[in-house]
Structure 1
Amino acid sequence: MNQPHDVQVVLSHDRKYPFHASTLARSSVFFASMLTEPSAARLSTKAKNAGITKRWLVELVEMPSTQYPAGQLELVELNSNGERVDGFAGRVLNENGRVPTKVFEHWERVLYAFYGTEIRIADKDMGAALVDCIGLIEVAEYLGCVNLIGKPVEVALLKHGQVLFRSIQANPQEWADMSFRIRSELIFRESIIHLAGNWNTWKKHRATMQGLTKTPDARRLAEKYHRRLLERSRALENKLASHYPGKIAAPKKDVPVKREEYAKDILVWMALCWYRQWLAHKIIANKGYNADDGGYSLYKDIGAGGDAYMDKAVLSQFHSMFPITKKALNVIENHVCELKEVMQNWVDKSGLLKSNCQLNVEQYPVNHITCTEFERADFPWLKDEREATVAVKKGKRPGGNDIAQRNLEAAKRHQEHRETNFSDEDGVMDEDDEDEEEPFRAPKRGRIQ
């Protein structure tokens, strides 16, 4: 068990860590490419007899910056005695009373994770947890070992419960990026639900669209599920605008129906006329599926029924246009209430007011649709995993080297994805882009004779 340490990682003058090259190379893409036999020091017989085993020395030569978010490691040349050729003792960090940096702690936690040590993250408040999570992710991405810290980071974040989910609702693009980096299914799904349900608003925010350029898959999925919501919203609005209550369309089985038969339901027709005029005004005022909230407020009012909309004040305005008797007005009000109940049922059946997010919308109400049903097959990283899956030969199971190689290849693909240079476009949807959307064709209805 007590194998000699052949690697020393130096973060500063007082943070020097002895490790094993085999462990580091199996766990990290970065170390796998650096800790090779040609780059190792050739120790003299005298050094070996003296118990010196250090053949590689890796040093943190750059602190975190815009170019290197986690800092930068470099291999230091050693002589035949296992000593530094440059004689440097290590970086001395003088913080001059400033808040101590946590970068060394992040590096230490990730390096210790190679040996199975549990990664601990601040859980006193959301801000401290986020600082730790981002720092750990930056280090892990640099080393190519995100798979080691993904789950611990996710667990630490989920401890914050509704505080986390409220933060996701407010900044879904940032959480989509973070969850993609650590491959957190729950947080990524939550982010897409809020992006898709409020896409009409987010697509006008330059900062949001720029944030999504870091994770193009998140934008693609948000647009995909938003289109699905549009289809459901359009279908609902078409149903609301084309519903005929009872048998007013064909009051008699014998056709053609005479005018006298239709005249018997004149007050029902008036109630339907008033209701459709109110609905048409809302649609024209852009309160339907094209609204910033995707029609959520309109559907919520219709789903609530009662006096949530078209109350007595609204009906009085119609009465001023149609000066019928008070008794007739009361009858029309009753018919409008019956229509509201039917429309309320249609909204319930549409499922658009159902919430599929982890946020408690009863305690923390939202102003957009959250009924998106995210399919697990749409997680972007599952495609890479499926492509990397190799058929197991009969009678042969993967060994330790096979598993380690597979993990390194997966980590390397993740690194390559993060390093991809995306388009310089800001991602904000212009009005011309909206015009290119395929026009909606309402379902055909049978013509009433």
Structure 2
Amino acid sequence: MREYEAMWEAAGGRVSGAMAGRAAVAVLGDDPAATAAVSLGIARAHALTRRVYLLDLLGDGQGVAPRAPDEEYPGVSDMVRYGVSLARAARLRPESPNLFVVPGGAESPLAPDILTDRWWGVAAEQARRANALLLVAAPSLVPAIGGLVRRLDGVVLVGEAHSPLPQVNVLAEVRTAPAMRTPAAPARTIPAAPPPAAPGSRWRLPAALAAAAIILVTILTAPRWSAYLGAGGARRDRMLADTQLPPLPPPVAPAARADNEAAFSVELLFTNSSQDALEYLASSADSLPAATFSLVAVGAEGDTWYRLVAGAFPDSGAASAYLAALRQRGRLATGAGTIARTPFALLLDSASSDPLARLRVAAYRGRGIPAYVLRDSAQVWRVYAGAFATEFDAQLLKQQLDSQNIQSALVMRAGSTP
């Protein structure tokens, strides 16, 4: 997975709590890659405790449904139009025992007759009874998408997407940051809508009047429904019966925190001189691990200052021990330096060995870029620039990189110093 998608997937995980108690939710977005990643983040979070069916209406290549070029699999369009069962169409994601994905199918799943079919309501009800989650990843700018979402429990909006219907329950929003095509911080969950009126409401029909209405509707529509059932309703009944979800497996225990998180560092220096900042990095290249700086706008005039940090630690305790060691060795005066939470960085490159990664770091630093390397748990050496407390803090350095035609992606730091 590319780092761009990883950021959106992490944002999806952060809003996954808004889907608690929901059985069927649509994730709608204007960027297919971001929408797919947010959907996967939500799906993986819920797959820790219940079965999740992720239906991909975004199209091939977005990373939701595993691609299998040598085989044909049924999908959403086949389930809705031809009665293929969900059990046959769903495919397990190997890394998540409770997560199943369903591709679009042999025909476009965005056809109006598919999006407005009553199949969606039946599937949502079956998911509710099985305590499962039916998650639908779909583009927001489809004319008939409102016919689908009105049968579900709510929507999550990604990027610049808007709700297709005013009465739809918006559960969460994962918006785009102004300066970068990455998730804005923080993602927003929406308070639950008030429940429907209680059965004792003053608008409840009297029992006798309600029964009479049902009888009248049945009499008036009997010929129409008889014709419908005789002309293919039997196939539809079989199709809807096939929507029954398989029994749930035992819940999977939540995953432990990754052992390669690098969310903390030690702040060493704060200067308004780019030359001082670069010289400090050059002089400490071999003695300070993961040394880098971030750009900070200070004052009403927005003067650029440079915050230098070092280290990449999984928790504040490890950062505190490193800070104490720096003071003890005389690298910092007593009382100087602070612990900083810096979970974000700009990813520049990666390498398969430490010598190659160091060559790339040297090349970036030769262009005035505060690059450094961390080795992750998969034995990949990743080249980063900067260390930031929030996504917003990365904007100035990101703009500098863009001006030099250096590609970068804002990611969560992971790994340790080689």
TM-score (norm 2): 0.21
More strand by share: 2
Structure (1 or 2) with the larger CA radius of gyration: 1
TM-score (norm 1): 0.20
More helix by share: 1
